[in-house]
Amino acid sequence: MVLFLGWPLGAGASPLAYIANGCSGTVTVVDTATDAVLGSPISVGNSPFGVVVNPTGTRVYVTNAGDTTVSVIDATSSPPAAIATINVGPEPFGIAINPAGTRVYVSNNGAGTNNTVSVIDTGSNTVIATVTVGFGPAGLAVNPAGTRLYVVNNPASTLSVIDTSNNSVITTVSLNGSNAASGVVVNPSGTRVYVAGPDAHLVHVLDATSNTVIAEVGVPGKVAGIALTPDGTKLYAALAFNADTVAVIDTASNSLTATIAVSGDVGSVAVTPDGRRAYVMGSSVFVIDTTSNIVVNTISIACPDSFGPGFIGPGLPSSSTLGPPSSSNPVGTTSEPISTSNGNYVYQHTDLTIPGRGTPLVFQRGYNTLDNYSGPLGTNWTHSYNVIVTQPSSLDYSLILLAKEERML
């Protein structure tokens, strides 16, 4: 599979890891706060491999290498389920999504014999373009601006750079004989591109402006999956083919700073949004503390096929947190303050206080979204001296005090 990180459904919830199980045609969901498996595996296509979560966390896209399709999972449903299947090219391998969430890119590997990338419109779930690249496209990555798509071609040992505005290849970069090159990531500023070079035991560093290799970092094994920490300062490289190791690279110096032993072959790695944990997939899912670079947990999941970096999606409120106030849905406010029950915004501020012998002079302003009153301070505003004298039909004068307390409605 591919390991990608997304946000669980629930306010303040932790990221979710979506793990494709190649032998069972399913995707397993793991809560990264507890490392617990959530619910039952989600059924997708044959031999799922790559996974990506959209920026809003509402959709998960899975490449099915065994039946030339991509499954679309609705992450908001309870339980999450596949809602669409998109036909792409032979043996879809890697997958990536642009920052706007409007385009999904799929590498059609074809066991190294195909040379295309399918471009999917996420609004219609249809393929809108097919781009010819090098043979055996594998890993893909989109830059933070969404203007460039990087495609690693395996075994061509090249990197295709695509202009996403017109879906055309603008250059092809040689990767110094790194056969079986697969993983690729772009740093947060979009200035550097990192490519795994397995056969050469290297991680290639490209300048994104000149599209040239400016450094190569040696590692003690064949690199498969790679992932950056959110701040871009560290790169984690899963070393496959029985290396049983994860390498850690400092991106400022482009040097190897640590190696982490794991009990099994690995292939894919992803880092949580806070940068505190790296999830590495192999025979099991290994959880690494990125401060100590120690394996702190192992999650047993059947046949997790491994490929691709992690991807992040924001959280969503679950349906169980909506509706009228109750013991299971308490009403409160955020620091702004906004009612969690009805979205009402209230505000009160004391502008002036003058002490006196008796009651002090206090001028306060108040705002309430649900108040329809329009006064001297504007719509929905009032103040502590907002007093109006009216003359009703009985000719008796009445005093109407509008400076009411602003309270949660």
Distance, CA of 145 to chain centre = 15
Nearest to 244 by CA among 269, 225, 222, 261: 261
| Residue range 253-274: mean pLDDT, rounded | 89
**Mean local confidence (pLDDT), 221-238:** 93
- What is the Cα–Cα distance from 24 to 11, expressed in whole angstroms? 32
- What are the structure tokens assigned to 60, written together? 């998960």
Peptide bond into 79 cis (omega under 30): yes
Question: Pick the residue with more confidence: 301 or 348?
Answer: 301
CA gap 226, 202 in Å, rounded: 11
pLDDT at 382 over 50: yes
If one counts every other C-beta atom within 10 angstroms of the C-beta of residue 127, the result is 17
pLDDT at 371 over 90: no
Write out pLDDT tens, residues 134-159: 989 999 999 999 999 999 998 878 99
Higher-confidence position of 363 and 58? 58
- The predicted pLDDT at position 330 comes to 47
Tokens 């065994």 belong to 66
Each residue of 90-131: pLDDT tens digit?
999 999 999 999 999 999 988 767 899 999 999 999 999 999
pLDDT category at 237 given cuts 50, 70, 90 is: very high
Rounded to the nearest angstrom, the gap between the alpha carbon of residue 62 and the centroid of all alpha carbons in its chain is: 15
Between 193 and 329, the higher pLDDT residue: 193
How does DSSP classify residue 15? P
Domains of the chain, start order = 3-320 (2.130.10.10), 324-401 (no CATH)
If we measure between CA atoms, which residue out of 257, 193, 195 comes closest to residue 226? 195
